[in-house]
């Protein structure tokens, strides 16, 4: 997506209820139509290099926040919660994938077994038809089939 001033999110009825506004940016965009401050901000996001006055002020605020023990503690707690949620989601996904694989293997095994039974039944039917044909031929010639 390119830079634009009037970006509208498709779900305009989406309300987060926290009093904030959400803005989405494509920080990989490097077009010449970007305002200089925004281009510098995108570069800062991509590289972490604070080159302009704006990005230097942002970088200083970020460093100040990192050094704030209360914020740091809250951040670490939040990070632990997020990592736990990611781990639980990963474990649930792996379990679901394993259950799916197991069920698929069971179904494939059942299909193979049914195919084998069908093949055996077809073989028995073929043998019975051959025996009937032999017996009919013997009856037609008047011979005893024993």
Residue range 14-61, pLDDT digits in tens: 666 777 777 777 888 877 888 888 889 989 989 999 999 999 999 999
pLDDT at 3: 46
pLDDT at residue 142, as a whole number: 78
Torsion sign across C-alpha atoms 117, 123, 125, 128: negative
Confidence of residue 11 (pLDDT cuts 50, 70, 90): low
Please report, for the chain, the start and end positions of each structural domain, with discontinuous segments joined by +. Answer: 1-67
Query: Given a cut of 50, is residue 1 above it in pLDDT?
Result: no
The b/e string for 136-146 (b: 16+ C-beta within 10 A; e otherwise) is eeeeeeeeeee
Q: Residue 124 and residue 131: Cα distance in Å, rounded?
A: 10
- Cβ contact 46:30 at 8 Å: no
- pLDDT value at 2 more than 50: no
User: Residue 9 above 70 pLDDT?
Assistant: no
pLDDT digit string, tens, across residues 77-128 = 888 898 999 999 999 999 999 999 999 999 999 999 999 999 999 999 999 9
pLDDT of amino acid 88: 94
Query: What's the CA gap between 139 and 143, in Å, rounded?
Result: 6
Mean pLDDT of 67-79: 83
What's the CA gap between 70 and 146, in Å, rounded?
Answer: 99
Backbone angles phi, psi at 65, to 5 degrees: -65, -40
The confidence score (pLDDT) of residue 16 equals 65
Confidence (pLDDT) at 55: 93
Q: What is the pLDDT of residue 14?
A: 60
CB 27 within 8 A of CB 2: no
């Amino acid at each position: 997506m390119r830079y634009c001033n009037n970006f509208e999110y498709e779900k305009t009825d989406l309300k987060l209820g926290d009093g904030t506004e959400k803005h989405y940016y494509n920080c990989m965009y490097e077009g010449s139509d970007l305002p200089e401050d925004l281009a510098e901000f995108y570069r800062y996001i991509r590289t972490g290099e604070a080159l302009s006055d704006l990005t230097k002020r942002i970088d200083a605020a970020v460093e100040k926040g990192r050094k704030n023990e209360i914020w740091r503690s809250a951040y670490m707690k939040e990070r632990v919660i997020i990592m736990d949620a990611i781990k639980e989601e990963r474990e649930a996904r792996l379990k679901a994938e394993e259950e799916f694989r197991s069920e698929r293997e069971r179904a494939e095994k059942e299909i193979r077994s049914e195919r084998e039974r069908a093949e055996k039944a077809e073989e028995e039917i073929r043998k019975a038809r051959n025996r009937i044909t032999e017996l009919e031929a013997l009856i037609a010639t008047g011979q005893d089939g024993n």
